[in-house]
């Protein structure tokens, strides 16, 4: 699987979790906690493989995307911070749903920029063979990637 396809699959997985969360009744606290925990694990691993593998390769192949890469790393920093707050949050707390809503807005914005503006440029710059190689590397790394946002060193400087 090529690297961009892998990242798009991750995006779809997280979007499905977001939609499930949005459909839950106000009192469905156990389900909200379970979905939030899945979102935390998925996004933490996703951000980690992007920053460790995909972004450096993309930046090297298409130096004109450096600003986008830097912005994406900062967006990840904000998301990981939000995930760390959600990790310890009580779903009965009035801020829990609001935190999830803001997280969803941020992630959806990030995904839209990547998929619409950035991935086509990167696909062209990297080519099929390199994207396949990156995808395989990312799949292997994802199996070992951190799933706890509190254990992810910040890539943001």
| Residue pLDDT, tens place only, 85-116 | 999 899 999 899 999 999 999 999 999 999 99
Please tell me the pTM assigned to this model: 0.93
pLDDT of amino acid 40: 97
The three-state (H, E, C) secondary structure of 73-97, written as one string: HHHHHHHHHHHHHHHCCCCCCHHHH
Percentage of the chain exceeding pLDDT 70: 97
DSSP the chain: --HHHHHHHHHHHHHHHHHHHHHS-TT-HHHHHHHHHHHHHHHHHHHHHIIIIIHHHHHHH-GGGHHHHHHHHHHHHHHHHHHHHHHT--TTSHHHHHHHHHHHHHHHHHHHIIIIIIHHHHHHHHHHHHHHHHHHHHHHHHHHS---GGGPPP---
pLDDT at 150 over 90: no
pLDDT at 79 over 80: yes
Please identify which residue in the block is written with the tokens 């807005």: 105
Higher local confidence (pLDDT), 156 or 91: 91
> How far from chain centre, in Å, is Cα 3?
14
CA nearest neighbour of 46 among 6, 91, 17, 2 = 6
132 vs 128: CA distance, rounded Å:
6
State the Cα angle at 7 between 5 and 13, rounded to 5°: 105
Q: Helix 94-112 to helix 29-49 angle, to the nearest 10 degrees?
A: 30
pLDDT of amino acid 155: 45
**Tens of pLDDT, residues 11-20:** 999 999 999 9
Q: Which two tokens stand for residue 39?
A: 């979102």
Average pLDDT, the chain: 94
Mean of the pLDDT values across residues 71-79?
93
């Amino acid at each position: 699987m090529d690297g961009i396809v892998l990242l798009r699959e991750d995006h779809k997985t997280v979007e499905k979790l977001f939609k499930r969360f949005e459909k839950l009744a106000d009192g469905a606290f156990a389900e909200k906690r379970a979905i939030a925990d899945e979102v935390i694990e998925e996004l933490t691993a996703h951000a980690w493989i992007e920053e460790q593998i995909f972004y450096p390769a993309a930046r090297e192949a298409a130096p004109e995307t450096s600003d986008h890469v830097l912005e994406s790393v900062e967006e990840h920093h904000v998301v990981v911070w939000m995930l760390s707050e959600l990790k310890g949050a009580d779903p009965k707390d009035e801020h829990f749903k609001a935190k999830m809503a803001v997280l969803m807005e941020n992630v959806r914005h990030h995904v839209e920029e990547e998929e619409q503006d950035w991935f086509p440029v990167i696909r062209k710059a990297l080519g099929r063979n390199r994207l396949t190689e990156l995808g395989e590397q990312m799949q292997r790394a994802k199996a070992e990637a951190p799933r706890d946002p509190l254990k992810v060193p910040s890539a943001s400087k």
